[in-house]
Amino acid sequence: MAGLIEGIYVSPVKTELPIELGEVTAVAGRGLEGDRYYLGVGTYSDHPDPRGRDLTLIEASALERAGLDAAAARRNLVVSGLTLADLVDKRFRIGQVECLGRRLCEPCDHLERLTRPGVLRALVHTGLRADILTGGQITRGNTIQLLAPVGLHPAAQHRSELFGAPRQELAGAPVEDDAVAADGVE
C-alpha cells in the first residue's frame, strides 16, 4: 500500500469553499491552522465528542468517480494510492505528523445539495476522520506511513479515557512490510 497527499484544503468558515495550500501546520488536538475546526467554528465544533474532528481525508479516486472538484468535497486532505477505510483505528504518519484514524468520514445530504445528485453514492466509504496526535508540517507530496500496533499514543489515550477507547490500541514504530509509504516526500 502506498499513500500520497495530492491536495491540502482549509476553510476558515463553514460557508466558504476551502482554499488549496501547498503546505499547512497541523496542531495536535486542534487541527490544521486556518481551518474552521482549528478555529472552533466548524459545524460540529460544539459536539461533545471531539474525536475525529482534527483532520478529514478523502480518496482522490472517489473524487474522480464523482466528477467533483477537491475543494467542493470540503475535506482537508486528498489522498491517492490507498483505501482510507483501512486506516480506521490505526496510527499513521504524514511527514512529521502522527495521526489516529477514528472513523469513516461519510458524505452527507448537505454535500449533495451543495454539489449534485449522485455525490453521496460516489463518495460513500471513501473518507476518513482522524485525530492529530503530534503536530508538524504537512506538504503536498508527503507520503502516508502506517505505524505498528504496539500501544496507544498518550494524546489518544487521554481522549480515549474521556470518550472511550478505539477498537484497537495502536502505536509507534513503522511497519516494515505493511508500510503505506516508506519513501518519498511527505
Output the pLDDT for position 178: 37
Cα–Cα distance for residue pair 131/10, rounded to 1 Å: 16
Cα–Cα distance for residue pair 2/63, rounded to 1 Å: 18
Whether 95 is in a domain gets the answer yes
Whether 46 is in a domain gets the answer yes
| Amino acid in the structure at residue 111 | L
Whether 68 is in a domain gets the answer yes
Whether 180 is in a domain gets the answer no
Closest CA to 4 of 134, 133, 180: 180
Torsion of CA 85, 86, 92, 95, to 10 degrees: -70
Whether 171 is in a domain gets the answer no
In eight-state DSSP terms, residue 82 is S
Question: Would you give the distance in Å from CA 46 to the centre of its chain?
Answer: 19
Whether 118 is in a domain gets the answer yes
Domain carrying residue 44: 3-163
Cα–Cα distance for residue pair 170/88, rounded to 1 Å: 11
Q: Is residue 133 within 8 Å of residue 100, measured between CB atoms?
A: yes
Output the pLDDT for position 163: 55
Output the pLDDT for position 2: 67
Number of domains in the chain: 1
Cα–Cα distance for residue pair 87/96, rounded to 1 Å: 17
Whether 178 is in a domain gets the answer no
Q: What is the CATH number of the domain that holds 104?
A: 2.40.33.20
- How big is the CA angle at 115 (ends 78 and 102), to the nearest 5 degrees? 40
Whether 50 is in a domain gets the answer yes
| Amino acid in the structure at residue 177 | D
Tens of pLDDT along the chain (186 residues)?
Answer: 569 999 999 999 888 889 999 999 999 999 999 999 899 888 778 887 888 899 999 999 998 998 888 898 889 999 999 999 999 999 999 999 999 999 998 777 667 677 777 776 777 778 999 999 999 999 999 999 999 885 655 566 555 555 555 444 444 444 433 333 333 333
Cα–Cα distance for residue pair 145/59, rounded to 1 Å: 16
Q: Look up residue 161 and give its three cell numbers.
A: 479515557
